[in-house]
Structure 1
Amino acid sequence: MPSPAVDDYLKTIYHHTEWQTERITPSQLAAELGLAPSSVTEMVQKLAAQGLVTHRPYGPIALTEAGEQRAASIIRRHRLIETWLVREFGYAWDEVHDEAEVLEHAISDRLLEGIDERLGRPRYDPHGDAIPDASGRVDRVPFVLLGTAAAGHIGRVLRVSDRDPELLRAVEAAGVAVGAEATVRDAATLRIAGADVALPTAAAEAVWLSA
């Protein structure tokens, strides 16, 4: 049955491996959700019993096929709503996350399909995260985190994490946008359109480029 609590768990597990390969641990999941480890352990056991995750005691957690399908469905809702708010209502990219968290559980499938069609069936949200299609498929290209990219690396800005609204505002103020061609000078500096752009230190762990 639909459950915002279950969806939040599945989304968090899904998010964890979108931009890196290590599976999430129960302690990491508890930290991400701001919950007590004992509460997370109990819920993970319930999710496993429902066939949505696989997990062994103290080991990492992985989504099953059914769990990934459900997670992709709610993430599709969230990211389409974010895109809709930016394009149709003039929201800034640092303002949409909390609104989408509320609306993703409220809108009907019919309205979601209408939003997708009106927007031209976008493949990426304003932050560069892939929007799953109705079947759960996503389009991704090889990527590298800014903090691990070698000096001289050339690529497109693929994604800026939406975890920290203040960082999003700082990145935007610096003139960095998703899709921009950039050359890495160092972990805090990109060269864009012939000019060096200094970024906050935190951007090293929040900006992804095409590999």
Structure 2
Amino acid sequence: MPRPPVTRMVEDYVTLIWKAYEWPGGRPATTDLAEQLGVTASTVSANLKKLARDGYIDYEPYGQITLTDEGRQIAVEIVRRHRIVETYLVEALGLTWDQVHVEADRLEHAVSDLVLERMNIVLGRPARDPHGDPIPDAEGHTAEFPSRPLADSDSGVDVEVVRVSDRSPELLRYLDERGIVIGTKLRVVSVSSAASSIAVDIAGESIELALDAAEAIRVEPELD
């Protein structure tokens, strides 16, 4: 029996599942998928059953959600397209990093392979997108860039911002206004679990962030 054609719904779901596992320590959950897709949890559950029936995921209600090989192949291709488009929108068209996620969502399904490859060549085949997320290569391989949450850093440590979650445009704008972008070097001044905050120093300016925000920021130690 032939498999149904790959729909936008299939692409959206397998991509979100793949990205959930890609973010260190993450895993997909029905409620989280519902929030990102703007639908009810019952709708997500019903669609997950369809995806499992059609061979894109392995799933049992209330159990772990994992991609099959075919589901992963689709997801990686969409992620690659999305992140190349995001990078092009920033580097070539001057959009800001909080604007490009929604725009890339619209374009990733429409841009041709020819145009996508031309974008990639013009950009110099970047390894990461504007948020520091790795861009899969044409064979679907994704480079690993070790990092840790800013919230897990010790006081007095100098670090560099290498990745920021693109889940919240509001957070991206907030960080940008405070000079916290990819490549920013900062010193961790103090971490307070009681106050749920972390204080950092950027070029002599002290900034306090909520620990939730710091969890969305991944860093690596500065090299001497």
Normalization by structure 1: what TM-score? 0.90
User: Is 2:57 aligned against 1:47?
Assistant: no
1:19 Cα deviation (Å)?
2.0
Query: In structure 1, what residue type is equivalent to 2:48?
Result: V
Give the aligned CA root-mean-square deviation in angstroms. 1.9
The CA distance in 2 between the partners of 1:200 and 1:13, in whole Å, is 28
User: Is 2:201 aligned against 1:206?
Assistant: no
Query: What does 1:72-111 align with in structure 2 at a 5 Å threshold?
Result: 72-111=76-115
1:102 Cα deviation (Å)?
0.6
How many residue pairs were aligned?
210
Identity of aligned residues (%): 41
User: Is 2:176 aligned against 1:166?
Assistant: no
Look up the match of 2:194: none
The CA distance in 2 between the partners of 1:190 and 1:119, in whole Å, is 32
In the TM superposition, structure 1's runs of 4+ consecutive aligned residues that sit over 4 Å from their partners are none
1:149 Cα deviation (Å)?
2.3
Which deviates the most, 199-208 or 163-172?
Answer: 199-208
The CA distance in 1 between the partners of 2:199 and 2:58, in whole Å, is 40
1:21 Cα deviation (Å)?
2.8
Query: What does 1:1-211 align with in structure 2 at a 5 Å threshold?
Result: 1-185=5-189, 186=191, 187-193=197-203, 195-201=204-210, 202-210=212-220
**Which consecutive residues of structure 1, in runs of 5 or more, have no partner in the other structure?**
none
Alpha carbons of structure 1 residues 199 and 112: separation in structure 2 relative to 1, 3 Å: farther
The 8 Å contact of residues 122 and 131 in structure 1, kept in 2 or not, is answered as yes
The CA distance in 1 between the partners of 2:206 and 2:76, in whole Å, is 34
Query: In structure 2, what residue type is equivalent to 1:143?
Result: S
Which deviates the most, 147-156 or 80-89?
Answer: 147-156
Query: In structure 2, what residue type is equivalent to 1:198?
Result: I
The CA distance in 1 between the partners of 2:60 and 2:111, in whole Å, is 35
Query: In structure 1, what residue type is equivalent to 2:149?
Result: L
Which deviates the most, 199-208 or 165-174?
Answer: 199-208
Alpha carbons of structure 1 residues 21 and 63: separation in structure 2 relative to 1, 3 Å: farther
User: Can you list the C-alpha shifts for 1:55-113, whole angstroms capped at 9, x where unaligned?
Assistant: 12211201122212211110111111111011111111111111111111111111111
The CA distance in 2 between the partners of 1:115 and 1:177, in whole Å, is 23
Alpha carbons of structure 1 residues 197 and 128: separation in structure 2 relative to 1, 3 Å: farther
